[in-house]
Amino acid sequence: MQPMMQLYKYATYVFDPLHHFWESDRTQRFVAGLLIFVFLLAVITIEMKRQGWITGPVADMIPTSHYMAINLAFTLVLVLEVISLIFTLPCSISKAVGKQFEILALIFLRSAFKALADFPEPISITGHIDELYIILADGGGAIVVFAMLGVYTLLRRQLEESLTGGPSLFKFVAAKKLVAIVMLIIFVGMGIKNAHLFLTGQHPFHFFQSFYTVLIFSDIMLVLIAQRFLPKFHAIFRNSGFALATLLIRLALTAPPYYNVCIGIASCVFACLLTLVYNTFYSRKSHYNRKKA
């Protein structure tokens, strides 16, 4: 057990400073300013290509639609949210699930804006009714997920954690921090590889879909870690159910239009229903009320 304790301590020493740096106000202000700069730079660069001021191999990598600047901005927002998700993994599984619903809502909004790339400039819906339906579906799905997230947040506040302190809690959290560190390394590595493919003229892979596939395995690992420290049946079922909800989110990312919204909303409903059932029948408060009755 001594080597494991050392590993837990190292994971904590590495993770905590990174988490503090990322969540600091200074870092968040810098990131927000960087997003504005990148968005404006993208708009200007696209206009320069349209005017013929940028030519050669570099011009081939620059889109011609100004709407792609919006897509780039939302892509960067998603990157930041995924990083925040990684730092949320050591928290309770239920909190990490809520963070993934936030990302799902942003993905639907990004998908809606991405459909703008098929519209002409100045914008007109003539001949683009199908794209309009996709925008309405993704936008409506984002609002529903946003609303369901509010319901889930209210339900999650009543959710009780079985571990409240002591060495077991430290080991439990430290083990999840170790998983988060590994996921952060994989995230950065995949980002570097995708950027290299793009800059060398090769076809980049679907970054978010690929990373969310990796997250499936991290979710299972977190469930197994939780089972080691919380071996009770209802805790295992709850954590496994949350893993299933996140799996549905991953499936929503790869589903075709309209189906993606249905699957994403179904994942939110499933998580809310699971949390409601757990709070009603398996929380310590419900046990106390039944004994009192």
pLDDT (0 to 100) of residue 293: 44
Summarised one tens digit per residue, pLDDT across range 35-67 is: 999 999 999 999 999 988 988 888 888 888 888
Q: Who wins on pLDDT, 257 or 291? A: 257
Residue 1 has pLDDT above 60, yes or no: no
Which tens digit of pLDDT belongs to each residue from 271-289?
999 999 998 888 765 554 4
Contacts 24+ apart (CB under 8 A), 222-231: 222/89, 222/93, 222/96, 222/176, 222/179, 223/93, 225/172, 225/175, 225/176, 225/179, 226/93, 226/172, 229/163, 229/168, 229/171, 229/172, 230/162, 230/163
Question: pLDDT per residue over 159-184, tens digit each?
Answer: 655 555 567 888 899 999 999 999 99
Per residue in 220-234, pLDDT (tens digit) is 999 999 888 888 888
pLDDT at position 128: 87
How far are the Cα atoms of 40, 145, 203 from residue 81, in angstroms, in the given order?
21, 16, 24
One-letter identity of residue 182? V
State pLDDT tens for residues 176-215. Answer: 999 999 999 999 999 999 999 988 878 888 888 899 889 9
More confident residue, 1 or 212: 212
Do 271 and 99 contact (CB within 8 A), yes or no? no
Q: Which pLDDT score, from 0 to 100, does residue 185 have?
A: 96
Tell which phi-psi region holds residue 18, choosing left (phi > 0), alpha (psi between -120 and 50) or beta.
alpha
For 70-117, the pLDDT digits (tens) are 989 999 999 999 999 999 999 888 899 999 999 999 999 989 888 888
| Mean pLDDT in residue range 254-283 | 93
**By the 8 A CB rule, do 260 and 248 touch?**
no
CA 205 – CA 16 distance, rounded (Å) = 31
Query: Model pTM?
Result: 0.87
Which pLDDT does position 228 carry in this prediction? Answer: 87
pLDDT at 164 (0 to 100): 55
Q: What's the mean pLDDT in 128-138?
A: 93
pLDDT band at 121 (very low <50, low <70, confident <90, very high): confident
What is the distance between the alpha carbons of residues 90 and 149, in angstroms, rounded to a whole number? 20
Cβ–Cβ under 8 Å, residues 271 and 159: no
